[in-house]
A and B are shown apart, each in its own frame.
Chain A
Amino acid sequence: MSEKELINLEQIFEERIERDEKIEPKDWMPEKYRQTHIRQISQHAHSEVVGMLPEGNWITRAPSLRRKAALLAKVQDEAGHGLYLYSACETLGISREELYQQLHTGKAKYSSIFNYPTITWADIGAIGWLVDGAAIINQVALCTTSFGPYARAMVRICKEESFHQRQGYEIMLTLCNGTEAQKAMAQDALNRWWWPSLMMFGPKDEDSPHTAQSMKWKLKRKTNDELRQQFVDQTVPQAAILGISIPDPHLKWNEASGHYNFGEIDWEEFWQVVKGHGPCNKERMEARVGAWEEGAWVREAAMAHANKQTNKKVAKAS
């Protein structure tokens, strides 16, 4: 292809995005668009799958049968989200094995929030309320992103996530209407999950080099700081209903801006967790790699069995 033809294709591509047309897997796309999408969608898929671990940690200890079933169903939904997202990613010409490889070797990232431990039952409520709440804010914007398979997966995922968020909030509400011990458990969970939840929106705008390109491709509709502000504004009144306090002495309503002011995130902690030094990075990776390696003989057997069945059919037909 000549350079002129390439420029022409890129121009047509950019115009399609401008007109809000969806880009489909078989359409021409710039290599950088493909790579950026593989990176982002797989990171999202990995986050769903690694995210099963901290919550899965409480399935055997859930305090009632109703909560146990709801938690199992929720973690199962996350596995389902992982599946659609891996499939969406595969349409860009990469296999699921390669994607797992990237996760297991640390080449691909997943959301840092899952490197924090779930140490009490209230953490399951806090994750639903805050972590799923933050995820929805990030993801609603992606329902209209330019890459068709990703946008369609997001529509479905957002519906389920908002159900999870209500469920998490309802766990918190039950705790906060319960005994002193339960309310203390809820407050402790909010104390531990608040700042990591704010970190879910990523670095500050001035430290986020990909934002401009991502906005152009509609892979981002609002900046990190705008989304973070939206989350704070939405969550503060919810904490007030629960009757527990947000662990930020600088949190204050700003009449003039119509938003809450809030304190500075500990960016040192943010980068440390991103670099692999969070409380549970090691455990999460060991669990994923362990499940994959221990499952190798099972996957090989399934493949061998399928081949035998095919051979039998072929032999029968001939």
Chain B
Amino acid sequence: MDSKQRSNYVTSIADNHLILGQRLGELCGHGPNLETDIALTNIALDLFGQTRSYYQYAAQLDDAFASEDAVAFLRKEHEYHNVLLVEQPNTHFGFVIGRQFLFDAYHLLLLEQLQYSADATLAAIAQKAIKEVRYHQRFSSDWLKRLGDGTEKSRKKMQEAIDALWRYTDELFEMTPIDQLAVDAGIGVDLHALRPMYYQKISEVLEEATLVLPETNYFQKGGKQGRHTEHMGYLLADLQYMQRTYPNMDW
């Protein structure tokens, strides 16, 4: 695996955090109460912190990127390799929690392996992030249970969100050629191996939340190849607005 490929691997992990952080950032000041507002902002902050560590490393590995900001702001839509799940909109609080929960369960499993990466920088980033993501998972699981096993209305809304987001879960475990190269080089994570543990964890929490495990077996993919949902263009229009309107300036 050459250093450009390694940089691609690193950004493909971090793109998920950037895009999910961006979605959470939209909510700041609009949460159902101050406590959840603060907690979701905290999660966004953790995700952006992780994004910066990964992107700084990616920029070191690939001369095409002048800085972390070049990685974050100056790519075309098809060059972002995040999964479709994280770009899904904040339809209502049930979707926010559902998206977070479905991502956190994956994220924690990923980091638990990535901390043993032969790449010392990746291992260090993962070791730091793992503590944060444990908290994220606790937060999203707790809320999933509150909303699932709360009122009739909340159960319906939470189930609606899980049903709608379910079709984006399988993509989390898709292995791209870069993922495979990273596994072969001993620095990456074998995502196929995480899949059974993931669905096991998800079904346990859903059961506790008195929610039904969706039965859909048809899944949406494409994010990891840079083919995104219609939501992504709008998200990037906001994200890249300043860098595109005022190119080559320091902020």
A interface residues, Cβ below 8 angstroms from B: 49, 52-53, 56, 59-69, 72-73, 75-76, 79-80, 82-83, 86, 121, 171, 174, 178-179, 181-182, 287, 290-292, 294-305, 308
Q: How many Å from the CB of A303 to the closest CB on chain B?
A: 8
Q: B29 touching A179 by the CB < 8 A rule?
A: no
Q: Does B239 contact A (CB under 8 A)?
A: yes
Segment of B119-127, B162-170, B240-248 in the binding face: B240-248
In this complex, how many residues of chain B approach chain A with their Cβ under 8 Å: the count is 47
- Tell me which residues from 41 to 69 in chain B have a Cβ below 8 Å from any Cβ of chain A: 41-42, 44-45, 48-49, 51-52, 55, 68-69
Cβ–Cβ < 8 Å partners of A301 in chain B? 146-147, 150-151, 153-154
Chain A residue with the shortest CB-CB distance to B235 = A60
Known: A76-B45, A298-B154. A59 touches B25 (CB 8 A): yes
Q: Does B251 contact A (CB under 8 A)?
A: yes
Cβ–Cβ < 8 Å partners of A56 in chain B? 28-30
Known: A301-B146, A304-B151. A65 touches B239 (CB 8 A): no
Q: B68 touching A65 by the CB < 8 A rule?
A: yes
Residue from the list B30, B31, B93, B251 in contact with A63, Cβ < 8 A: B251
Q: A59 touching B28 by the CB < 8 A rule?
A: yes
Known: A62-B242, A68-B48, A69-B48. A82 touches B29 (CB 8 A): no
Residue from the list B26, B45, B249 in contact with A69, Cβ < 8 A: B45
Cβ–Cβ < 8 Å partners of B241 in chain A? 61
Q: Does B171 contact A (CB under 8 A)?
A: no
B interface residues, Cβ below 8 angstroms from A: 22, 25-26, 28-38, 41-42, 44-45, 48-49, 51-52, 55, 68-69, 72-73, 92-93, 145-147, 149-151, 153-154, 157, 238-239, 241-243, 246, 249-251
For the complex, give the distance between the alpha carbons of A60 and B241 in Å.
Answer: 9
Q: B150 touching A304 by the CB < 8 A rule?
A: yes
Cβ–Cβ < 8 Å partners of B26 in chain A? 59-60
For the complex, give the distance between the alpha carbons of A66 and B251 in Å.
Answer: 9
Q: B242 touching A63 by the CB < 8 A rule?
A: yes
Q: A76 touching B33 by the CB < 8 A rule?
A: no
Q: A298 touching B147 by the CB < 8 A rule?
A: yes
Q: B250 touching A178 by the CB < 8 A rule?
A: yes
Q: How many Å from the CB of A297 to the closest CB on chain B?
A: 5
Q: B34 touching A67 by the CB < 8 A rule?
A: no
Chain B residue with the shortest CB-CB distance to A86 = B34
For the complex, give the distance between the alpha carbons of A146 and B55 in Å.
Answer: 50
Q: B28 touching A73 by the CB < 8 A rule?
A: no
Q: How many Å from the CB of A310 to the closest CB on chain B?
A: 13
Residue from the list A49, A61, A179, A294 in contact with B249, Cβ < 8 A: A179
Per CB-CB distance, the 4 closest pairs between chain A and chain B, nearest first, are: A295-B32, A301-B150, A301-B154, A63-B242
Q: B242 touching A75 by the CB < 8 A rule?
A: no
For the complex, give the distance between the alpha carbons of A20 and B45 in Å.
Answer: 41
What would be 28 A-B contacts, judged by CB atoms less than 8 Å apart?
A: A49-B34, A56-B28, A56-B29, A60-B239, A62-B242, A63-B243, A64-B73, A65-B68, A69-B52, A72-B25, A72-B41, A72-B45, A75-B28, A76-B37, A76-B38, A76-B45, A79-B34, A83-B34, A174-B250, A181-B246, A294-B92, A295-B33, A297-B151, A298-B33, A299-B33, A301-B146, A304-B151, A305-B146
Known: A63-B243, A301-B147, A302-B146. A76 touches B154 (CB 8 A): no
